[in-house]
Chains A and B, each alone.
Chain A
């Protein structure tokens, strides 16, 4: 029913050498391409560089720069020390990590089981169940009814599960995983069946090990969604700052500039100040770190995991 996703069918792997028929580029063309690539990379990397440098800067250095630091004059770990002292931010990081790990585990188990369950095209109820899932991609209840269901019917207000379960299943991800499993070599599965393996065994020892790329990428997708979740917190637990995960802390204390408890020292009049810039930027860096840690391991699988296969119904 639905098809997307072209598959690369290059027979020979592409080499770095210039094909013999291609003309040598002009100097002007080379320069133009080089500059535009630099521009693209610069636009992405420069803000990240500034944020990291500022988070390590001393207050004096920030004062000299008059805000965001580009050229550092003295570095310190103070901001991180202050932040990981056990205050709001430390708690928020731990909460976000737990939600991310638990959520990813739940999502992956549910999705992998479902994808495998739907991967045999002529099984009983296959089409009906599949259509039940695909229909949710076209019709949705919308924001308010979902909120009412979670908050009023299941009493999820102020509960952590409300940040996980409503978004635990992504039909799109299931369809991608499924199309991978359908391509798992039939003879491997048949051989396992002849050896007496049941479906659970086949899933665990044949299908899962042969489709690592898609599993890794999907786990990353789910993990990133949970780590980045902000709106669900706004919906279901905006009141209590001791329950916030890191993204909401980032929003409240850095983006909206609210004063951070234990963050900034009160000014002379006794009003709480927004946290110092280095501290704010340290929060930004903290939200980046888990993504940067996981990213290199999964990056090589992207094209494969995100694209391959067509979805057939």
Chain B
């Protein structure tokens, strides 16, 4: 049948061209005659082709044991069917899978979002917190991916922000043909430590990340680097992996030298308990260096200063996730419980007012945070969620304060605190491609006296290629 298409297209084309050419009245008659000749020629050729196809079809149906009406056309040679994309023959057939996520929210918060901070923690400098008041366009997430060749695949996930910027969230290649369970990845990518770090914003179960991720990694850690993973050939899921890179993301910084900054190692385990329950658990270790990692604060007189940390930053993360659905049928009902605990030690030097006094002395902190959340799909398309977040800043040892060079009030951001937050969520998912969400949070990130009551409405829509998500 595809043979007919070029002829049909030619006929349509000549039909479209005709009015333009027809303006030259002299040529019109000649053209018409020519077209008629062409037309009758093609009619004759079409008739011949049709006759040949009928002949072939009758031959095939008499030879086949199954009737044509029975849809099944056995082809042991596994040639693509007429409906399959492989049958198309154009450059577009090799287009990668493209999908686009639309996100936005309406925020009603009781405290000024400008004053939002996580008490007791050095700010990451990333855009964390409840965001701005009223209506906000979120990140439009563009994902493009395909196999490169039999050996590699490549993916780009770019975020077009509401502030008219384009951010490359991830752009990486991945191997397809390494033997023995190894997979290598290179480029920019979300690190595979923990559970939530790899999950893109549109797949979060709440509008925002847990406080622990906001405080420890400025939402999510992505750096330019390489990753090697190995999956054990066992029925129990055992995945071991390591990463290294330029360290550009908080809590690391780029170093003024060649080579890599730090290393990440992670191990994930998982399996099933019966037909209804699945679990995954893991432990991760991040070892990074920071050089002149600056953050904004105010001094004891209330004037803005820029301070900086230089030293080692080491973080432990433990994660566990459990999902339950009756008979594994997630279309109807599902319960998901997940939690992560992280602990960080930073040792090095803290410089006060790098652009002015530039006083420097030793610094050491040991901080921790965790969250526990549960999302329950109580009926198809409806989910309700509850999350508790808590952080413990510990009491950092600040050399400049210990020596008496500066008063403790010179470092308001480092005053010991234990922020926490409770979040309630309800979402409605009309289809696999849309989600509307309402969320209410009692946020004590600043401190318990300044409780921020945050109400948010959010939409998430996906168009284009059907996504596939990890567990």
- Bound together: no
